[in-house]
Chain A
Amino acid sequence: MEAILDFFRGADGLTFLSVYQSALRLALPILALFLVIRSARSLLGFRREPEVWAWLRLATGELLPVTHWENLMGRRKSADIVLDFVTVSKNHAVLSRQDDGSWMLTDIGGKGKVEVNGRQVLNGPVDYGDTLSLAGLEMVLEPVSKEEARLQANSRTRAGKGNSPGLTLLLLTVFQLLVALELVFNRPDDRIPVVTSFGITLGVEWAMFIAQKLIHRSGFEVETIAFFLVTIGLGVCASANADALYKQLIAMGIGIAIFLVLGFCLRDQEKAKRLRLVAAAAGILLFLANLALGRSINGSRNWIFIGSFSFQPSELVKICFILAGTSTMDRIVTRRNLWSFVIYTAFIGGCLVVLNDFGAAAIFFVGFLAIALLRSSSYPSAVLILVGVGMLAVLVLAAVLAIRHFPHVADRFSGYGHVWEHPFDNKGYQQTKSLMCIAAGGLFGLGLGNGWMQYMAGAGASDTDLVFAYVCEEWGLLMGVMMIFALAMLGLFVVRSAKVARSSLYTIGASAAMSILMMQAILNVFGTVDFLPLTGVTFPFVSNGGSSMMSCWGLMAFLKACDTRQNASFAVKLSTKEGDKA
């Protein structure tokens, strides 16, 4: 009993505030745990039921389902349509569905002709009823009837079944209200920005949820996780500098706009393909503007100022970069245009090296690897390895040069691994203070606004590069771990849903987006706790920073586009209108 009372006692004894805060220290991690578990069950526990888009009837009468928008046909076991006949090549042809529902057949260099209705094609349309022939093996493309489509849509498990996304969002809402209330108690002077920002966030998330219900979509886990991380970020921002909350809100608004627009564009492959070129050009322009106008903060010249508003172009380039890197399978397997992407990456990498931003360079490098790996389908992998190793070498060389010429980079690297020997200088001050504060926070934290890291916000980067320590100190180690779980869960979701993805365009996009975000988290968290050199990278959604917020929301669109659970995502077209009524 004494121990329980002690737990609730504050500096002024047993007061309402001390009881509330102590209860909250327990309640917040528990709520977060429920939230993360519910989302995980939904995102990682769904049955991966394929969507059937058409049938191929062989001469024997056997029916083969066509389960993707892009299907590799061939003898190899990993083909999407396995044709185990000696005459058929391992990789023979690609059958791909167009946005209007029509089909294309592409010869990808198999031995023996590819024919449609007896006429040889290299890349030509196929109608339902047409006879396809691969090295003499004939089959007929048959449609999925409306009735079949309706049955299929009905039989597939709906997103959110068993784990109602509405209830999860309600948990998040309670979480947010409790956080806001504590901030109002602890920071009465900042109650207006706090109430405003939490109120608007609540409004936006419920509006998005209801809007998606209206278009018969029920998967809201990705957004819920994003808003969960955003909430922690708002809490950090309110504690460090409440005035910056408005800026964060605006950035979130822009980010969500990018998220929605990009998500809708990704519904159709054609739109997405057109967007690729625009994005590639925009990426180059953003970097050129950065090179011309960039100003230096903390040694990296990666900031542009427009009036009093500052932003980091490299953050938005992440979205452009991934879009530019996506590709459809017919292109991937016909050995085209990876070189242009290599050159594009080299340009971006070069810009980042010139701008002296190595954290970002490492992140783009990981993004490149993720994309290149997926696009190397039938490529001689030696080329890729060569390119990868070459780029790594350039990166390391540039880093070595930078360490020689820029003292702040040198300090950060030279303190790595033995920060406790440098608690009072550039080599280890940030990391040791972070570890001290993480320890001070315990498992449940000292309460929002009660930490010490706030005195190191801004120039000391405690609310950005060291945000993991900030969260651990005020929210507790449990919450710090939870936010990493949440992010890793999105990564695992992408890996899981790749099996039933419609097109490689979406798989590449989602996989690259999550690789980039997880790499950011790795550099951020492990840099803070001295597992890696501190490179100054943001934690997705949580670190204070507008550009980062926008880019993270933008990247979430790629996740929505790969979510093919039935009626899950606004960024995925329903396979049939009938599905709506089911």
Chain B
Amino acid sequence: MKSISKRTYFALILACILLFGVLTFVIRYFLYADRWVSFAGSPHVYTNGKLDTGEIVDRSGVVLYTSASDRTYADSASLRKAVLHLTGDRAGNIPARVLQAYASKLFGYDKLNGTAAMEASGGLLRLTVSAQVQAIAMQAMDGRKGAVGVYNYRTGEILCAVSSPSFDPLDPPDLSTGNTDGRWDGVYVYRFFHSAYTPGSIFKLTTLAAALDLDPGLAERTFTCEGSLVLNGERITCPKAHGELTLREALASSCNCTFAQIAVQTGKRPLSAQAEAERLEESLNIDGIHTSRGHFDLDGAGDNDLAWAGIGQYTDLVNPCQYMVYMGAIAGGGKAAEPWLVRSAECGGEETYTAETEQTPQMLSASAASVLKELMRYNVEKVYSAAEIPGVRVCAKSGTAEVGSDANTATFAGFLDDERYPLAFIVVVEEGGAGSSTCAPIARAVLEACINVMDGER
């Protein structure tokens, strides 16, 4: 009997599996129940297929979206269009990701009481963006494809996160017939968060950060540009021979030959390490929006490839939001605040979520950051007068990324070196021609709007 009795351990194993499984499930319940309950189609929180959450307002309290009675949007068409990628559309082609991420906070779900404690209405999601700024950015983009982003590198608030083209959710275009010229291509994509562009010369700021760390004396050196440079049998060219120039002159004239040399001298490993420090290939979770990953890979790259990679070509890709944060890090002496979109969530008048500022890891050394800041300021003074704002120190770098025969992506990134307006920004225009001439006016318009809004809040 004893030997037989022992073999009832089989039942013991089953009992243990059962108990262990239940324990696992209870743990998962406490981790994820709020996600389950607010998932699309959840019978307790959706009525007629709509998430019944309440309102979304911008930083000034402008109502952008109301879930009640078949979703209403902002009053004016230009505002509706400017925040479309945040509020989503009626057809569900563009999801309102921030709303989904905070749904359970808006209707007052809690894991102890389930939906029994739920408020019937009264949810309020306060965003950090300014609808007014977004509308100005949208207007400045003028239907061109691309993205505009501005954020406060001290607090992390995103003031502007525009994706163009966009449409009025009350008057959506019919893509099956209305897109023969391709002007609506990718309209459902939130380009600011969900795209990765060839950066072009703005990437020289990354190369330079790596190079400055290896050779702090770089800023005092002079370089010679003969108009072209042959590396590994490949010719790298500048529009003209820049002759002898200092580092700041090289950056201001965006001299490819100089930066090709710097990239090759710096080497693969430090460049890759710098890209990693900037988290270019990571995805950030910004209040429920997961940014697209960039790309930086020097595996098997020759000197010519390394040179191209160092000036933002080759296989380089960056996500606009990510690179905007890097701008913030330069401004902030190596670190910046992590970006966020949702300031607070309320349910029935009670605050259920409040954003808090978090810092990014060190992206570049403080000394490199201070050198870059001066160089970028010099850029604006010498070259980008179109971006100048009276009374504010604008620092920037432009780029013109070659992505096809004559389809250049214009990029412009930088920040305000000003404690009253600690703003970092990026502008990307697809098929936009030269970086500074296309993007600098857009950046200026948007930044001025931001300054206005911030002044108004004081």
Q: Which residue of B lies closest to A21 (CB)?
A: B116
Chain B residue nearest to A91 in the complex (CB) = B3
Interface residues of A in 427-480 (CB under 8 A from B): 432-433, 435-447, 452, 455, 476-477
Question: Is A504 close to B, CB under 8 A?
Answer: yes
Within the assembled complex, what's the spacing in Å between the Cα atoms of A481 and B26?
8
Rounded to whole Å, the gap between the CB of A433 and the closest CB of chain B is: 7
Cα of A370 to Cα of B12 in the assembled complex, Å = 11
Which of A70, A80, A440 lies in contact with B114, CB distance below 8 A?
A440
B1 touches A374 (CB 8 A): no
B43, chain A: closest CB distance, angstroms: 4
Given contacts A437-B44, A484-B22, contact A444 B112 (CB under 8 A): yes
Question: A142-150, A394-402, A507-515, A548-556: which one contacts chain B?
Answer: A507-515
CA distance A195 to B17 in the complex (A): 37
Q: How far is the CA of A377 from the CA of B1 in the complex (A)?
A: 10
Known A-B contacts A440-B44, A442-B111; A515 and B5 likewise in contact (beta carbons under 8 Å): no
CB atoms of B11 and A436 under 8 A apart:
no
Q: Which secondary structure dominates chain A's binding surface?
A: helix
Q: Does B42 count as interface, using CB distance less than 8 angstroms?
A: yes
Q: Which residues, 68 to 112 on B, are CB-close (under 8 Å) to A?
A: 109-112
Please indicate the chain B residues that have their CB under 8 angstroms from the CB of A476 in the complex: 114
- Tell me whether B3 and A377 are in contact (CB under 8 A): yes
B interface secondary structure, majority: helix
Number of residues on chain B facing chain A (CB within 8 A): 44
Q: Point out the residues of chain A lying under 8 angstroms from B11, CB to CB.
A: 370, 491, 494-495, 511, 514-515, 518
Q: Report chain B residues within 8 Å CB of A515.
A: 10-11, 14
Answer whether residue B6 sits at the interface, using C-beta atoms and an 8 A cutoff. yes
A369 x B10 contact (CB < 8 A): yes
Which chain A residue lies CB-closest to B26? A481
Which residues on the B side are within 8 Å of A452 (C-beta)? 43-44
| Given A446-B116, A522-B21, CB of A499 within 8 Å of CB of B12 | no
Whether A424 lies near B19 (C-beta < 8 A) is no
Partner of A529, one of B25, B43, B109: B25
Task: Give the chain A neighbours of B40 by CB distance below 8 A.
Answer: 423
In the assembled complex, B2 has its CB within 8 A of some CB on chain A:
yes
B39 touches A423 (CB 8 A): yes
Would A71 and B4 be within 8 Å (CB), given that A443-B112, A488-B15, A529-B25 are in contact? Answer: no
Residue from A436, A443, A521 within 8 A of B18 (CB atoms):
A521
Task: Decide if B176 is an interface residue (CB 8 Å cutoff).
Answer: no
Determine if B1 and A504 form an interchain contact, defined as CB atoms under 8 angstroms apart: yes
B43 contact from A437, A504, A522, Cβ within 8 A? A437
In the complex, A352 has a CB within 8 A of chain B: no
Assess the A443–B111 pair: CB atoms within 8 A.
yes
B22 touches A440 (CB 8 A): no
Q: Which residues of A contact B45 (CB under 8 A)?
A: 440
Q: Report if A507-B116 is in contact (Cβ < 8 Å); known contacts: A492-B15, A529-B25, A531-B24.
A: no
Contact with A along B431-451 (1 / 0, CB 8 A): 000000000000000000000
Contact flag A511-B18 (CB < 8 Å), given A71-B1, A442-B116: no
Q: Residue A78 at the B interface, CB < 8 A?
A: yes
Q: Which of B294-313 contact A (CB under 8 A)?
A: none
Interface bits B21-34 vs A (CB < 8 Å: 1, else 0): 11011101100011
> Which of B6, B7, B117 gathers most chain A CB within 10 Å?
B7
Question: Hey, what's the 0/1 contact readout for A76-116 against B, CB within 8 Å counting as 1?
Answer: 00111000000000000000000000000000000000000
| Complex: chain B residue closest to A25, CB-CB | B116
Q: Are A424 and B8 interface neighbours, CB within 8 A?
A: no
**B361 located at the interface, meaning its Cβ lies under 8 Å from any Cβ of chain A in the complex:** no
Residues from chain A with Cβ under 8 Å of B10 in the complex: 369-370, 373-374, 511, 515
Residue of B nearest to A376 (CB): B7
Q: Does B36 lie within 8 Å of A439, measured CB to CB?
A: yes
Q: Which residue of B lies closest to A77 (CB)?
A: B2
Does residue A519 face the partner (Cβ distance < 8 Å to B)? yes
Contact B112 A526 (CB under 8 A): no
Is A70 a contact of B1 with CB atoms below 8 Å? yes
Other A-B contacts than A437-B44, A441-B114, 11 sampled, CB-CB below 8 A, are: A70-B1, A369-B10, A436-B41, A442-B115, A446-B116, A481-B26, A484-B18, A491-B12, A507-B8, A511-B10, A529-B25
The 6 A-B residue pairs whose C-beta atoms are closest, nearest first, are: A442-B114, A439-B37, A439-B33, A498-B5, A491-B15, A439-B36
Q: What are 26 pairs between A and B in contact, CB < 8 Å?
A: A79-B3, A332-B4, A370-B10, A370-B11, A374-B4, A423-B41, A436-B37, A436-B39, A436-B43, A440-B44, A440-B114, A443-B113, A444-B113, A455-B43, A477-B29, A481-B22, A484-B22, A485-B19, A488-B19, A495-B12, A503-B1, A514-B14, A515-B10, A518-B18, A525-B18, A525-B22
